[in-house]
Each structure stands twice: as structure tokens, then as C-alpha cells.
Amino acid sequence: FDVAIIDEASQITIPAILGALRLVKRFILVGDEKQLPPLVLSKEAAEKGLATSLFSYLKQCDNDYMNSGSGAESACVSLRVQYRMNRWISNFSSKVFYEDTLEAAPTVAKRVLTFLPVAAAPLTEAPAIKQAIQPAYPLVFLDIRDHGESAGQTGQKSSNAEARAVRAIVQGLLARGIAQKDIGIISPYRAQVATIRRHLYSDHVTTGWSALTLDSPMSIDTVDRFQGGERLVIIMSFATSQTPAVESLLRDFLTNPSRLNVALTRAQRKLIVVGSAPALEGLPYFQRLLSYCRSMGTVIAYSE
């Protein structure tokens, strides 16, 4: 081949890509170094550089070459206009992760959810849930006033309180005509993903909730598995009702903020972040997220 175009190149390990590149005269790598790097399970292999993609390696080489005073033209081109998120969602990631250089295309910048007339609104819908799902609030932080309730054994990173809040949000969205296929639910933890699935796909007679059909196209997964995906509405659950979960968030997001960036850039028109504001306030990136939401008046307290 004359040219090979490698998409999502920032996620590919060097050994996985070199074989194919030997068969082409030129190659173009397309990726985003601000998002998740290659997944390498071996700690030793990661420490020896296998977790660094060819994309990141060559970009660093290009930066070094440009800083050497050679006068040569850079081989890297940055695409500054994105066509996924409306401006209220994209502005945060632009400021925090992209040095305020990312712009929403005019075709998507002002897009928000459109609800159908409500035929049968949930009878038990809490005012906070009703407010959180409104199209007028494209980015919301739903502050769960939980008292440490967990979904499993001590140390498990999951929260029944957050899962019930997610269920209430989904119920409200479905009642207003948002299709299941247009809703995505993300959590950093497999335990919380499982807890949310259980709450959505099981009947809850006491709350009037009927289980969703098992063949539902609704996507419920971890951050890592959701990279590359997008939905009209994304609900992000951080399971922050337990100390171990917060400690893990501190470790994950301060050493790898790209994971938070991925989580916050999957939504097209509506992003609802579910968590405990007091628990997350001490983490720098979350502190900025909460500050951003407060500036828009979209930190909403919720208790059952």
C-alpha cells in the first residue's frame, strides 16, 4: 500500500502496529493523547514502555525536533473542532484537558435534548430528578446525599444509592421519549456497572419500577470499554459513597486524568454526573468540575 491510515492510534501498542506499517510507504496516525493509552496488563511491560503508543512516542519526537531550532515544519496537525458535544459539555474538557483550544462545531454547539410530550410521567419522580433531566441543563452534577450505604462487601466500589438515582434518571428520560439506545451509563468500576444493571433489569415493586427488557440496546459499561462510543445522554456514576472508592478515584484520576476526560466526552447533548460532592471536592479535577457546574447552577442535591 502507498498509505495506511491508523485510527484510534493512541490506543495501539507499538508491537501491534509495526508489522502493518512495514507494508506501507507512508502512514498517518489519528488519535488523541489526552484519552486512554494502550491497555497493558503486565506492570513490568508497562514500566518498560509498552504502554506508550507509537502515536505518543512520535508526537514527543516531533515536539523535541521542533524545539531543537531546526526550522522544520511539524509533522503533527491538531483538529480543534469537534462534532459530538454541545458547547456546554465540551467547554469543560476544552479548558481542563485541551488548553482551551477545543471548539464545538456550529452544527452541534447549541443542540440539547428534545422531549416528547409526557404521556405518563413517573408518579414518584423526585423534584431533583425532574430538574436534573431537563434539556435546559446540558451538564448536571447530581449530588447524592448518601450515608455510606454500599452494594456489597466492605471495600467494594459500588453504591446502591447511586444506582437507584441512575434508575430514576433513566425512568424519567424514557417517560419523555428518549430511546434506550440513546442512553449510555458509565462507571469507573465493574462492581458499580453490575449494581446498576441489577437495578435496571430487576422489578422493584415498592417503587413501581418494571425491569427493562433484557434485549435493551442501552449501553452500561466501564470508562475503558466506552472509549470511542457516544450517546445523546450519558449518565456517569462514580460510586463515591465509600472511602475505598474515593481513594481509588484519587489514584486513578490524578495519575491518569485521561480516564476522566474520556468519561466526560461521550455525551452529545446531555451529561449527568452522579456522585457525592463532599467526597469529590478534594480531588483537583473534580473540584474544577463542581466549580464549573456551580457556575451554571447545575449542582443539584438529591436524597431519597
Q: What is the CATH number of the domain that holds 181?
A: 3.40.50.300
Are both 21 and 127 inside the same structural domain?
Answer: no
- By the 10 Å C-beta count (0-12 exposed, 13-18 middle, 19+ buried), 143 is classed as buried
Q: What is the CB neighbour count within 10 angstroms for residue 1?
A: 10
Are both 154 and 60 inside the same structural domain?
Answer: no
Are both 95 and 62 inside the same structural domain?
Answer: no
Question: Percent of the chain at pLDDT above 90?
Answer: 53
Q: Do residues 33 and 13 make contact, with C-beta atoms less than 8 angstroms apart?
A: no
- Going by pLDDT thresholds of 50, 70 and 90, the confidence category of residue 187 is very high
Using the predicted structure, report yes or no on whether residue 246 has a pLDDT greater than 70. no
Span 166-179, pLDDT tens digits: 999 998 998 898 99
Domain-embedded: residue 155: yes
Domain-terminating residue out of 67, 92, 122: 67
Domain-embedded: residue 72: no
Are both 85 and 130 inside the same structural domain?
Answer: yes
Domain count within the chain: 2
Using the predicted structure, report yes or no on whether residue 242 has a pLDDT greater than 70. no
Q: Give the CA-trace dihedral at 168, 173, 174, 177, to 10 degrees.
A: 160
Span 39-94, pLDDT tens digits: 888 999 989 988 899 999 899 888 888 888 877 788 899 999 999 999 999 999 99
Are both 203 and 254 inside the same structural domain?
Answer: yes
Are both 19 and 131 inside the same structural domain?
Answer: no
Span 92-114, pLDDT tens digits: 999 999 999 999 999 999 999 99
Are both 31 and 117 inside the same structural domain?
Answer: no
**Which domain covers residue 117, as residue numbers?**
81-302
Are both 188 and 283 inside the same structural domain?
Answer: yes
Q: What is the mean pLDDT of the chain?
A: 86
What does the angle CA 216 – CA 222 – CA 228 come to, to the nearest 5 degrees? 85
pLDDT of residue 244: 62
